[in-house]
Structure 1
Amino acid sequence: MNQAIQFAAPDDREELARAEIYGLLAQLFYAPPPAELYEQLRVAVTVAPAPGAFLESSWTELVGASRRLGREQVAAEYDALFQGLGKPEVFLYGSHHLAGALNEKPLVALRDSLAALGLARAPGMPETEDHIAYLCETMRYLIAGDDAGVSNLASQRRFFDAHVRGWVDAMCAQIAAHPTADFYRSLSLFAQGFFSVEAQAFDMLD
């Protein structure tokens, strides 16, 4: 992880860094972090190569939270925020934030986009495709995949604009404002900053 998380890097290294951040967000939003990942997070470098880099502060807070909290505490926080009995405290699904309910039209549109990219939900995966972890993993694939006909900047922008941009800021803000959020408050603020950088970069392509 020390090498994967970069804040300023040229050319291919910058793309690798973007893909790795999406992959990290996918793992941390999908489930409580496994032991190996959490230990890597706790020893991660917190000083950006470029002083004052935009994500440095929120990344430092995330690493600091991982050092301050035990993995069992983080797992309990994940369950309390995103699992629970019945309605979770915070929904991690795009349809809920965009349409006010699960399994609505945004999910149908997402599945059409995934089919056009030749992608589909893995058998046995319980969450629907509009879960933030699934979307982050799709973005990671569109950045780092081997098929240049699918994994390219145009595909990244279309997918981000259609299925990520419209709701992730509200989701991250909701997590950050929750009174019991600690580790996931730090994660949501880092994610919010990262998604903001992504949106600005895609806007600059006009």
Structure 2
Amino acid sequence: MTSDTDHDAASDSIELQSADAAEELARAELYGLLARLWIAPPDQPLADQFEHVVTQAPQAGGFLEAPWTALVGAMRATSVADAADEYDALFLGMGRSEVMLYASFYLAGFLNEQPLANLRGDLATLGLGRDESRPETEDHIAHLFEVMRYLIAGDDVAVCNLEQQRRFFRAHLQPWVGAMCDAVAAHPRARLYRAVAGLTEAFLLIETQAFDMIE
């Protein structure tokens, strides 16, 4: 995604300005990590990072502890080549993908349908547009996570605020990502990505409950 001010969702600088800023930074970083894992299989530098990352979630005993530990274990048990093979089998393949990663498929039954048009309208309102260097349409799960990261960590307070996060999440993530995660988890070839789906689903459940509390 690109913005009118040329901010990239994956590279915006983040300034901590309140007691809650560390939590917001953690949210933004997790959206960024999940976006990275859904857009492509992990490369060697990312795999190397998981060799040294802590196995516990930031809050011990929290809701994300078990899925985070599962992801760390899966990353350490999977080679880069095996991860690439798994990603290709699940999400690329010949012809139709085994598991779709696009909102339109889950919301309308087909790709490039009305949900994508609705999304494009909302992105335009936020001053965001498609990165033409990427082949995926804007409703790919990774792109939507990048938007959420931008809405959390960006420095344009007129756009990057809690209400915009809530609206975007409710409209473009909450209605379908659970079904996508269930499809990934049920696929017999899913190993690493079963763990990615588990963390994704758990994190979005927390986000859903948090947005429920502000309504």
Q: Give the TM-score band, short-chain normalised.
A: over 0.9
Tell me the equivalent position of 1:46: 55
Give the share of equivalent positions with the same residue, in percent: 57
Distance 1:50 1:22 in 2: 17
Shift, 1:44, TM fit: 1.2
Q: Does 1:144 align with 2:153?
A: yes
Output one character per residue of 1:37-68: Cα deviation in whole Å (capped at 9) or x when no partner. 12112321122354311100010000001111
What residue ranges of structure 2 are gaps of 5+ in the alignment?
1-18
Tell me the equivalent position of 1:107: 116
Distance 1:77 1:95 in 2: 23
What residue ranges of structure 1 are gaps of 5+ in the alignment?
1-9
Distance 2:106 2:58 in 1: 36
TM-score (norm 2): 0.90
Which is bigger in relative contact order (C-alpha 8 A, separation at least 6)?
2
Paired residues for 1:29-178 under 5 Å: 29-178=38-187
Tell me the equivalent position of 2:27: 18
Is residue 184–residue 193 contact of structure 2 (8 Å, CA) maintained in 1?
Answer: yes
Q: Which amino acid aligns with 2:109?
A: G
Shift, 1:34, TM fit: 2.1
Distance 1:193 1:48 in 2: 12
How many pairs are equivalent?
197
Matched residue of 1:107: which SS?
A: helix
Distance 2:50 2:213 in 1: 31
Is residue 42–residue 64 contact of structure 1 (8 Å, CA) maintained in 2?
Answer: no
TM-score (norm 1): 0.93
Distance 1:62 1:116 in 2: 35
Is residue 57–residue 68 contact of structure 2 (8 Å, CA) maintained in 1?
Answer: no
Output one character per residue of 1:111-157: Cα deviation in whole Å (capped at 9) or x when no partner. 00000000001122100000000000000000000101100000000
- Assess, with a 3 A threshold, how the Cα gap between structure 1 residues 49 and 97 changes in structure 2: closer, same or farther: closer
Is residue 59–residue 65 contact of structure 2 (8 Å, CA) maintained in 1?
Answer: no
Tell me the equivalent position of 2:197: 188
